[in-house]
Amino acid sequence: DSVFAHVVKAPEDPILGVTIAYNKDPSPVKLNLGVGAYRTEEGKPLVLNVVRRAEQLLINDRQAKLSVLVSRVKEYLPIVGLAEFNKLSAKLMFGEDSPAIRKNRVTTVQCLSGTGSLRVGGEFLARHYHQKTIYIPQPTWGNHPKVFTLAGLSVKTYRYYDPATRGLNFKGLLEDLDSAPSGAIVLLHACAHNPTGVDPTPEQWEKIRQLMRSRKLMPFFDSAYQGFASGSLDVDAQAVRMFVADGGECLVAQSYAKNMGLYGERVGALSIVCNAADVASRVESQLKLVIRPMYSNPPIHGASIVATILRDKNMFNEWTVELKAMADRIITMRQKLFDALRARGTPGDWSHIIKQIGMFTFTGLNKEQVAFMTKEYHIYMTSDGRISMAGLSSKTVPHLADAIHAAVT
């Protein structure tokens, strides 16, 4: 008998499980709106042209200066990853002329995409920060509570979404942050809140900033969609930059999964903005002690691709064009779905579909309606009614609109 005979089968991940169910469905009209990955109008995964070009350069190593990137040579990177990648990632997030970077107040370390950056940041805080409680929005990305709990933090929630308006519960948010213990950590989605697609306005962000600074709450930004939400890298970084501009401290987890389509390369960065250069340098030395026993050092290929693109003006511009095209296609899908429901006279106010931003729409459909759409229309999504707009195309919008119409009537 196996010594593991007592091990019970674990449930599927609620998000990744949607794809598993989808794969089992033989229907030709099946539609997967669960997965958080971009698809083209033809429903295909996309590798950006600029990424292909960067990979070609790395393979050919034609430019002598690229040899510093050494993706061709499969050596280990340092514990904190590729130095040039870290520098360029910080600039992308905080701005070309960021005073915090100029004053060396920021330490940036390459991590395993957004998830790994959150985990390393969480473990650093659990070891070295005086407040072990992190407040996450209600609802939030399903992995957040698990990542932070295992990092050693205690997880609490703050009100965020108002089902009645399908918008922000701004009053509840302010009340909950105001009553959080002084110094508590607060997880903020930098833009394109997942799963709701609801972001604070710039004015609301400013109020949140003032309240958090006056209550000495520690901002931990999760930036998984920079450029992917509005189509502009700078616009999507505004909230983060607002908090950095006031001179205070914060953490930022960056991911290149969505905005460069590098999902499986697992490339991201954790930045900790400190109030002085000597603090930042000591913080970095401790980040190494978090990373080393966890995975020693990060992978080289994805970081080399990102650095190759960010360091070259032409490639950077080419990237912004391709990024905007992805963002625009998603925004177009929102409009098409909204129009299709209107045309069907589907009962209810569906304007939240065009008001929400980013990869997802929080439809407001309940669990029973979602189950109905899966059973009768072969449409797959998470049971909270979240649909990935990136998984939709002009061809599949009518089928989805029919399903929603049938589910609510």
Binders of ligand PMP among residues 126 to 185 (CB under 6 A) are 141
Determine, following the binding rule CB under 6 A, whether residue 197 of this chain makes contact with ligand PMP: no
Binders of ligand PMP among residues 249 to 288 (CB under 6 A) are 255, 257, 263, 268
Determine, following the binding rule CB under 6 A, whether residue 113 of this chain makes contact with ligand PMP: yes
Nearer to ligand PMP, 196 or 304 (CB): 196
CB of 147 to ligand PMP, least distance (A): 9
Q: Which of these segments, 44-52, 81-89, 107-115, 281-289, binds ligand PMP (CB under 6 A)?
A: 107-115
Determine, following the binding rule CB under 6 A, whether residue 124 of this chain makes contact with ligand PMP: no
Determine, following the binding rule CB under 6 A, whether residue 369 of this chain makes contact with ligand PMP: no
Q: Which of 176, 199, 222, 236 is catalytic?
A: 222
CB of 372 to ligand PMP, least distance (A): 26
Residue 141: active-site member = yes
Q: Which of these segments, 3-11, 91-99, 109-117, 149-157, binds ligand PMP (CB under 6 A)?
A: 109-117
Determine, following the binding rule CB under 6 A, whether residue 107 of this chain makes contact with ligand PMP: no
Determine, following the binding rule CB under 6 A, whether residue 194 of this chain makes contact with ligand PMP: yes
Determine, following the binding rule CB under 6 A, whether residue 388 of this chain makes contact with ligand PMP: no
Beta strands 161-162 and 167-168 are: antiparallel
Q: Which of 199, 258, 312, 350 is catalytic?
A: 258
Q: Which of these segments, 22-30, 39-47, 111-119, 205-213, binds ligand PMP (CB under 6 A)?
A: 111-119
Residue 258: active-site member = yes
Determine, following the binding rule CB under 6 A, whether residue 236 of this chain makes contact with ligand PMP: no
Site track 20-59 with ligand PMP (rule: CB under 6 A), x = hit: ----------------x-----------------------
The residues that are catalytic are: 141, 222, 258
